[in-house]
Amino acid sequence: DKSLPEPIKIKLDDTNPEKIKLGNSEGVKGTRVRVFGRVHRERRQKENMFITLRDGYGQMQVILQGQLAKTYDALTLTRETSMEILGELKEVPAGAHAPNGRELHADFYKIHPGWRAAGGDDAITNRVSKDTEHATLLDLRHLVIRGETASKILIIRDAVEFAFNQVFKELRMRKVSPPALVQTQVEGGSTLFKFQYYNEEAFLTQSSQLYLETCLPSLGDVYCIEKSFRAEKSLTRRHLAEYTHIEGELDYITFNDLLDHLEHVICRVLEISMADPTIKQYILDLNPEFQTPERPFKRMKYTDAIDWLNEHSIPNEDGEPHKFGDDIAEAAERRMTDIINRPIFLTHFPAEIKAFYMQKDPEDTRVTESVDCLMPGVGEIIGGSMRMYDYDELMAAYAKEGISPADYYWYTDQRKYGTSPHGGYGFGFERFLAWLCKQHTVRDTCLYPRYFGRCKP
Ligand code: 4AD
């Protein structure tokens, strides 16, 4: 009914009262404030209306009392509507609960023209709910991210990426930004996205590793946080077509240095992330049993993993006992990791099943100085290795892989002009987050997942 009373008019200017975000705003209790946000939930209790307002920084309980709860806008309020609200922040009465233990007693509010969210059949609660089909939810990811779980994951993601940057700075590693459009492969031809680059063929990068290696002589240890692309044709819970790859490359190191470094990076990133009370709370909301892993991590050679799998009667993909040279499949790897139930550095994979650039173990040249870090619930989250640094060995590796050295001239030059023992790694950031936030799939740990059959929204 349009004839219901209008909100009480108060003369406003832009600076008074002060505009605050909804999260933790200690020190403003008892003062008049101005807030903006969207209606996350609303309920009526007797004469009053309780609104949970949300702005991405937190939530605030707002109370509309008396006349304010009876206006046309209040009576027709829909979820997700944007509001401007003025009022006094007060502690919640004993026994009552509200975010941060306070509530805003509104004395004025305004729904500006166009700020009202759709209602009726089109209301957000009718489009995204617990009963919505999985495929529909994927099409509606832009609305799903307004929900509590998705937004917590994205907020954790932001904090953890920042922590990675901080740790790399503590370690004096320099950040670089290698190209995404390339003409070399790093991790095999089968997952290359090819495209027409003017008059030439080019690919979307699978890994920035080869470029990071070229930076060592001038910048020292380096890292990057860039997208990598893999034309994966299977639908699994841990494969994306486009993912965020956190890669590091370290100069003048041994394989053991590389493993120690990785352990440090993981633990320090977690320490920094958990030191932020909001992030810690969000992580525990999503993953209540989360504990920072203990150092040192379990280190297990590939050949020991093969024995372990056979002792535990976990067969290979052909249903037979595992043998040296088998690629340990995703399911077997995950079962092993879940049973051992702690982070594992799985090392020394056979050269035959690993990338062309990996350094051979001097003590057993069948295997490489390579490592996968496996985490319970997810499996592999990191792949790394020492790099072949001898010129002749690298030329032979190209030939074996069937790749043309001409395209790799710049990579080969690293072995020609002052080579060095070096190594590095790549974290699949979505997988790391799936482990940290206890998510079933990496599709829920990125903003808009890209995988076989999906390129929207
Ligand atoms: O093991 P990968 O293929 O190793 C490399 O690309 C190295 N060149 C990295 C380096 O040494 N600089 O990939 C590294 C990690 C994997 O452990 C996994 O976590 C993630 O990248 N990854 C994927 N994540 C999501 N979707 C995919 N399709 C992925 N492929 C690899």
In this structure, the residues whose C-beta lies within 6 A of any atom of ligand 1 are 186-187, 207, 209, 230, 232, 239-240, 243, 245, 247, 380-384, 424-426, 428, 430-431, 442
Mean pLDDT on 239-244: 97
- pLDDT value for 234: 83
Residue 93 burial (CB < 10 Å; 0-12/13-18/19+)? Answer: exposed
Give this complex's ipTM.
0.99
Please state which of the ranges 59-63, 133-137, 246-250 shows the lowest mean pLDDT. Answer: 133-137
Which residues pair with residue 454 across a beta bridge?
451
Residues forming CATH 2.40.50.140 domain(s) in the chain: 19-120
Q: Give Cα 41 distance to the centre of its chain.
A: 28
From 173, 216, 230, 452, give the residue whose CB has the most ligand 1 atoms within 8 Å, as the site to mutate: 230
Alpha carbons 236 and 240: distance in angstroms, whole number? 8
Nearest to 104 by CA among 48, 149, 147, 156: 48
DSSP labels for 208-265? SHHHHHHHHHHHSSEEEEEEEE----S--TT--SEEEEEEEEEES--HHHHHHHHHHH
Residues forming CATH 3.30.930.10 domain(s) in the chain: 141-444
Q: Which atom of ligand 1 is nearest to the CA of 432?
A: 19
Which residues pair with residue 48 across a beta bridge?
45
Q: Which atom of ligand 1 is nearest to the CA of 372?
A: 17
Please state which of the ranges 81-85, 96-100, 335-339 shows the lowest mean pLDDT. Answer: 96-100
Ligand 1 geometric centre to CA of 367 (Å): 20
Contact 117, 126 (CB under 8 A): no
- The answer to pTM > 0.90 is yes
φ, ψ (nearest 5 deg) of residue 329: -70, 160
Vertex 187 angle, CA 260 and 189, to 5° = 175
- pLDDT value for 260: 98
- pLDDT value for 29: 58
Ligand 1: residue whose CA is nearest its atom 6: 207
Q: Is the pLDDT of residue 14 over 70?
A: no
Ligand 1 geometric centre to CA of 287 (Å): 24
Alpha carbons 50 and 62: distance in angstroms, whole number? 6
Alpha carbons 287 and 110: distance in angstroms, whole number? 38
The beta-carbon contacts of 146-151 under 8 Å, at least 24 apart in sequence, are: 146/38, 146/80, 149/286, 149/444, 150/444, 151/56
Ligand 1: residue whose CA is nearest its atom 20: 428
Ligand 1: residue whose CA is nearest its atom 7: 426
Ligand 1 geometric centre to CA of 323 (Å): 24
Alpha carbons 381 and 3: distance in angstroms, whole number? 61
Q: Extract the tokens encoding 350.
A: 């056979």
- The residue type of 341 is N
- pLDDT value for 25: 60
Alpha carbons 449 and 136: distance in angstroms, whole number? 14
Q: Is the pLDDT of residue 31 over 90?
A: no
Ligand 1: residue whose CA is nearest its atom 31: 428
Contact 66, 26 (CB under 8 A): no
Percent of the chain with pLDDT over 90: 87
Ligand 1: residue whose CA is nearest its atom 17: 382
Residues 6+ away with beta carbon under 8 Å from 114: none
Looking up tokens 């002589």 gives 217
Ligand 1 geometric centre to CA of 239 (Å): 10
DSSP labels for 172-222? TPEE----SEES--SS-GGG--EEEETTEEEEE-S-SHHHHHHHHHHHSSE
Ligand 1: residue whose CA is nearest its atom 24: 428
Please state which of the ranges 74-78, 92-96, 145-149, 236-240 shows the lowest mean pLDDT. Answer: 92-96
CATH superfamily, region 141-444: Bira Bifunctional Protein; Domain 2 (3.30.930.10)
Ligand 1 geometric centre to CA of 443 (Å): 15
State pLDDT tens for residues 51-90: 999 999 999 999 999 999 999 999 999 999 999 999 999 9
DSSP run (H or E) holding 36? strand 32-45
Residue 194 burial (CB < 10 Å; 0-12/13-18/19+)? Answer: exposed
Q: Which fold has domain 19-120?
A: OB fold (Dihydrolipoamide Acetyltransferase, E2P) (2.40.50)
Of residues 55 and 100, the one with the higher pLDDT is 55
Total length of the chain: 457
